[in-house]
Structure 1
Amino acid sequence: MANFIVEFPLKTEKYQEDILDKRFEIGRQIYNSLVNVTQKRYKEMIKTKKYRTLLSLLTGNKKCDKEIWKQINDIRKQYGMSEYSFHEDVKQMQKHFKDNIDSFTAQKIATTLWKSYDKLFYGNGNKVYYKKYSELNSLEGKSNKTGIRIINDTLVWNGLEIPFIIDYDNYYEYQAIQCDICYNRIVRKYVRNKYKYYVQIVFKGNPPVKVDTETGEIKHYIGNGDVGIDIGTSTIAISSKSDVKILELADRIQNIENQKQKLLRKMDRSRRATNPDNYNENGTVKKQGNKKVIWNKSKHYIKYQNELRELYRKQADIRKYQHECLANYIISLGNKVYVEKMNFAGLQKRAKNTEKNDKGKFKRKKRFGKSLANKAPAMLLTIIDRKLGYYGEKLIEINTFEAKASQFNHFDGTYIKKSLSQRWNDFNGIKIQRDIYSAFLIMNISDDLKSFDIDKCNERFENFYLLHNLEVNRLTGKKNLSSIAI
């Protein structure tokens, strides 16, 4: 069953905020204690010859590796590396803090740590980290029957009773609060140099339909038909029967990015002035061997640190808002949304090999880490998939290596590899922007998700080319990203 989340601000008193802060800190300490316990078991497990041998036998073929994975999981269970083992571990810790943290909330802390190990086991993470002071800013329960509960528009949790603010004039909030509650989450956010507290209620079912209060019309709806999207590190091309677009992802965060750069330079100057003994003559940080470098922070530095924290919050909020709006637009174009399967984690990694260009200069090893962090294309795809799920649909990923949308020419069925700098396709005088054409091809993928349906391409090309030219005319004369090349 689908769930949806609505966030409400808590109407807290000062003493209640102090209690919540104390509980967030206790939650952090429980998490770190659990990391300490589980890391010892994990290190012992990876030392065993049998475990390392089984990992080396994995081929990447699911059918062939099925028996090997079964043996690996058995070893993990023997060493207590499972979610239920973590729940048993946290039970011993929670009883010392039962006046503040209930058992269900403690289990959710353990589940959060298990997710980190899950990523580590399946190659999506490098290490399990401890949480620094004030890093844990959310605590959640498992149901609305015990622990963190909502009773009559009030948050009730271990002696705390905090009302939350509901805008009953807001049709969406009014309809949402009528739904059944799955569980609740308390969130702490640092807003304008002060912590603010919210409750996020996870409701069962699909979210209510948003309605324009003035006209009474439905704000968001799902379209009918095929939609192809070609998503990059900072842009997205969209193709459908009714519209063609190429857009910069989260274009409103660039101004904040410029502010961040200025603030980081201020912080660096302040840190250097306050800690001159930590730097060499050439400006690099001195290596202290096994000793930890101690950094003193001036009042100005702490002030800049808080300003930077506020900018990160603004950037995250703007990015999420723009992605939500773009996702609503994309699903309004059609109910079958296709995208190439992307490995964004691979694009973030630095190049391993040191290479030189034609002029003999070393090529940069940096790739797209900063761009991906700012634009968060993977987040957009997750949001699209979630919104499609409300209508019984899902985001359809096509086989990138089999289809090769950036190389294919549907006019003659040939594949031509192009350099990244080549942003336009020329088909006997018909010039089409590369990313938009890829989105068009993805829209016309065959049922096998590996090849393109030539009949669909020929049938839909005339309409696509007309919409393509309208989009090119819209962007001509504007300041666009170099990757758009218009």
Structure 2
Amino acid sequence: MTKPKRKSTKESKPNFVLSLKLDTEKYQEDILAKRLDIGRRIYNACLNELNKRYGVMVESKEYQKAIKRPIGDTTRNRALQELIRKYRLTEYSLHRFVQPMQEHFKKNLDSHTVQKIATRCFNAFKGKLYHTANKIHFKKYGELQSLEGKTNASGLKFRNNTLVWNDLSIKVFVDPLDVYAQMALLRTIKYCRVLKKGSNYYLQLVLEGIPPVKINENGEFRHKVGSSKVGIDMGPQTAGITSDETVRLLELAPEINTPYRSIGNLQRKMDRSRRATNPNKFKENGTFNRSNRDPWIKSKHYQADQLKLQRIQGKLSSLRKQFHNKLANEVISQGTEVYVEEMSFKGLQKRAKKTTKNAKGKINRKKRFGKSLANKAPALFLTILDNKLRYLGTELHRINTAVVKASQYNHVDDNYRQKELSERWAMIGEDKIQRDLYSSFLIMNVNPDLSSINRVQCLENYSKFKTFHDIEIERLRTATSHKVASMGI
């Protein structure tokens, strides 16, 4: 089933988010936790209803007849869209479905918040409806971490540095010395969102327009904007960056040291506690008993360890985002015309399908880049960079990786050669060039069609690139900090 494309009648305005910590008391945290769980149950009810409607539709004769038509046939798509409307697999039919639930929980949740829960569920279900996802999962207890409204006029509201939500009023921390927050609060508030991180609650204000420009103590812009073309070669842990002004090979979020030992110890401790307090949930051989539907029992020690784990992961997430923002500002200081290859990071997370053996005859591990991607989050960096570029009136240019083949091309002899992943250096003429940096150089010199490399530009700019390349390689070789193995240095 092909997803229909909607033509917007007006351009969507940009917006940004300001997060402010809530000054909560214990009873207020209990109320917020209760409302989050009510939202979770409504979400699951919506997903269950959509699954039922979808099951009835796919079993119908009309659907079986329509699905047999050739893909791309307009009559096929039209018939499927009519069936979607007939079996009420639409967002607004789900809004009608949740109306009685909102009446039941009206002391806790307003109508706009409940409608947003339904919309959130429907957007997730579209992956199954249009065959881009195999299964949509229900939310487990404690998994729903946020609720949001539709406007700042009713329901979830921000008034006089206070969150007002039904009969609940919670003060919000707004630092009077935080110039950025004070400038952001002058913008129009579109809607509000309550977010739980670890044991803390935050109010996120979605504001119209672009974020305020940050200034330093002297009243100057903190981050400059360059005018060069920039090419980025993204890896699971590193980024090769080339522009007219510099060449850099950087580790993503270099100061993050994930405490794998502490996390592993906590997870094993939690697993032992879970097994001790829930023996009926496991079979004699130690495997999980899927047929048991009893509620999980969590001891106080388990809950304390769970909170510790959440705090560790939350801190790592915040630090990672902070470092990615810094690197994105550094890229934009070189230029706003930024090119990058299209990457399927989900594909890199998957285990290898082919079974191979090493020289000793032992089977090689099938693990790939899941750990590196979880630790460095390269996709998050590209999202942050793209958002910053959009605020400046442009966007991230994604080139066609399969057609351009930047990792295989040699602009000197105008040939392609497939390289092993372990080959970190390439011979370009008589020069030995770091592979990631050379790929970023080629990406920078891509043609406007984003499907081919401009060889003439490569020949013109190569000598300057080689000079910056040698400077960067020397910097990396003399650096005392830890170097990622994939750099080849």
TM-score when normalising by structure 2: 0.89
Q: CA separation of 1:470/1:390 partners in 2, compared to 1, >3 Å: closer, same or farther?
A: same
Which of the residues 114, 131, 135 maps onto 2:122?
114
How many angstroms does 1:302 deviate by? 4.0
> Does structure 1 retain, via aligned residues, the 8 Å contact 2:232–2:440?
yes
1:70 maps to 2:78: yes
1:202 aligns with 2:214: no
Contact 2:283 2:289 (C-alpha < 8 Å) held by counterparts: no
Decide which of 148, 154, 159 is 2:156's aligned counterpart.
Answer: 148
SS in 1 for 2:79: helix
Q: Indicate the larger mover: 263-272 or 463-472.
A: 263-272
**1:221 corresponding residue in structure 2:** 224
Counterpart CA distance in 2 for 1:306 and 1:339 is 38
Q: Hey, what does 1:380 align to over in structure 2?
A: 381
Secondary structure at 1:201's aligned position in 2? Answer: strand
Shift of the alpha carbon at 1:333? 1.1
Match of 1:103 in 2: 111
* Aligned alpha-carbon RMSD (Å): 2.6
1:87 paired to 2:91: no
Q: Percent of counterpart pairs with the same letter?
A: 47
Query: What is the CA distance between 1:259 and its match in structure 2?
Result: 2.9
Partner of 1:170: 178
State which of 233, 245, 249 in structure 2 corresponds to 1:230: 233
What is the CA distance between 1:196 and its match in structure 2?
2.0
Distance in 1, Cα, partners of 2:382 & 2:421: 23
Scaled by the length of structure 1, the TM-score of the pair is: 0.90
Q: Any gaps of 5 or more consecutive residues in structure 1?
A: none
Change (3 A) 1:287 1:391: closer
CA distance in 2 between partners of 1:133 and 1:268 (Å) = 17
Closer, same or farther in 2 for the Cα pair 1:357/1:74, shift >3 Å? farther
Instruction: Select 1:29's aligned residue among 26, 29, 41.
Output: 41
Q: 1:25 to 1:293 in 2, by over 3 A?
A: closer
Offset at residue 300 of structure 1 (A): 4.5
Is 1:129 the counterpart of 2:129? The answer is: no
Q: Is the 8 A contact 2:156 2:193 kept in 1?
A: yes
Q: Please say if residues 116 and 125 of structure 1, whose CA atoms lie closer than 8 Å, have aligned partners that are also in contact.
A: no
Size of the aligned set, in residue pairs, is 475
For residues 312 and 362 of structure 2, the distance between their equivalents in structure 1, rounded to whole angstroms, comes to 36
SS at match of 1:384: helix
Q: What is the CA distance between 1:149 and its match in structure 2?
A: 1.4
Secondary structure in 2 aligned to 1:182? strand
Q: CA deviation at 1:359?
A: 4.9
Runs of at least 5 residues in structure 2 that lack an aligned partner in the other structure: 1-12
Using a 3 Å threshold, how does the CA distance of structure 1 residues 463 and 50 change in structure 2: closer, same or farther? Answer: farther
2:263 maps to: 260
In structure 1, distance between residues paired with 2:323 and 2:288: 43
SS of 1:254's equivalent in the other structure is coil
Match in the other structure for 1:245: 248
Query: Matches of 1:485 and 1:142 in 2, distance apart?
Result: 50
1:172 positional shift: 0.8
Shifted more, 441-450 versus 354-363: the winner is 354-363
What residue is the counterpart of 1:345 in the other structure?
Answer: 346
Q: CA deviation at 1:162?
A: 2.2
SS of alignment partner, residue 463 of structure 2: helix
For the residues of structure 2 that align with 1:363 and 1:375, how far apart are their CA atoms?
24
Post-superposition CA distance 1:66-124 (Å, at most 9, x none): 55333333222222212112111112211111122111111100111012112333454
1:334, distance to aligned residue in structure 2 (A): 0.7
Amino acid of the residue matched to residue 205 of structure 1? Answer: G
Q: Residues of 1 paired with 2:243 and 2:270: CA distance?
A: 47
Instruction: Provide, for residues 148-177 of structure 1, a one-character-per-residue CA deviation record: whole Å limited to 9, x for no partner.
Output: 112222222212222212122221111111
- Report the Cα offset of residue 258 of structure 1: 4.2
Q: Aligned ranges for residues 17-56 of structure 1 at < 5 Å?
A: 17-48=29-60, 50-51=62-63, 54=66
How much has 1:410 moved relative to structure 2?
Answer: 0.6
1:296 CA drift (Å): 6.6
The verdict on how the C-alpha distance between 1:9 and 1:333 changes in structure 2, with shifts beyond 3 A counting, is same
Q: Structure 1 residues 401 and 456, CA, compared in 2 at 3 Å: closer, same or farther?
A: same
Distance across 2 between alignment mates of 1:99 and 1:299: 30
The change in CA–CA distance for 1:370 and 1:70 in structure 2 (over 3 A counts) is: farther
Contact (CA 8 Å) 1:347, 1:368: kept in 2 or not? yes
User: For residue 29 of structure 2, what is the amino acid of its counterpart?
Assistant: E
The Cα of 1:46 is off from its aligned counterpart by: 2.9
Structure 2 vs 1, CA of residues 163 and 293 (structure 1 numbering), >3 Å: closer, same or farther?
A: closer
Instruction: Supply the AA of the counterpart residue of 1:8.
Output: L
Q: Which amino acid aligns with 1:28?
A: R
User: How far off its partner does 1:275 sit?
Assistant: 7.7
- Give SS of 2:241's match: strand
Q: Which amino acid aligns with 1:233?
A: P
Tell me by how many angstroms 1:53 deviates.
6.2
Q: In the aligned structure 2, how far is the partner of 1:56 from the partner of 1:245?
A: 53
Question: Aligned partners of 1:246 and 1:65: how far apart in 2?
Answer: 48
Distance of 1:460 and 1:19 partners within structure 2: 62
